Amino acid sequence: MRYLYVLALVLFTGSYTFSSGSSIYGGDDDDDDNGGNSSANNNNYLDVNLNSNLNFTINQPEELEHTQTLTNAIRLNFMTKRKNCGIYAKVVSYTAPYGADKTNVPLELKHRSDNSNNVSSLVTTPLHLTTYDQRLFIQPKSKQEYNFYYDLRLMPLGYEYPEGQYNFTLMFTMTQE
């Protein structure tokens, strides 16, 4: 039996590890144009919520040949009141059993839906996650709260992956553009 677990981590100014969701508000990070004064109501913010357990379990050999999808697994909730913002994702940790290829992380994010009518540079095709920041989209500043939903996909592993537990940690960041 093979298990793949995904943990989620969000970092922006401070860091929070969460099981059901976490909020990070742009506060005293010296790039909020607020002179070091923090007020969550006046700044950009990012919430990352998990809509399901981010676990993949492989019990049958044919499951190694197909993409497995956790539909609407991740919701990014944010506001860009002060400046245009880019939202990025990457894998910050990947542990695997001995003999596994640690250079190829078999995870993808797939944009499912959103409530923005003016997003730009939106990646709508499955995005193969790596250990480098990859921009998901840019959202112009607005006083509206936005929700972006993503599927988490485990790509076909093939029969070369050794049995065991694989752990991933994902990081989502919001940067002012």
- Give the pLDDT confidence score for residue 73 in this predicted structure: 95
Residues 44-93 pLDDT 10s: 889 999 987 888 888 888 888 999 999 999 999 999 988 899 999 999 98
Is a pLDDT exceeding 90 seen at residue 99? no
Is a pLDDT exceeding 80 seen at residue 121? yes
CA–CA dist 134, 45 (Å, integer): 19
Look up residue 102 and give its two tokens: 């640690």
Q: Are 152 and 169 in contact (CB under 8 A)?
A: no
Concatenate the DSSP letters of all residues of 71-97 into one string.
EEEEEEEEE-SSS-EEEEEEEEEEE--
Comparing 31 with 102, the larger pLDDT belongs to 102
Asked whether the CA dihedral 95, 101, 104, 108 is positive or negative, the reply is: negative
* pLDDT tier for residue 160 given thresholds of 50, 70 and 90: confident
Comparing 62 with 17, the larger pLDDT belongs to 62
Q: Are 114 and 120 in contact (CB under 8 A)?
A: no
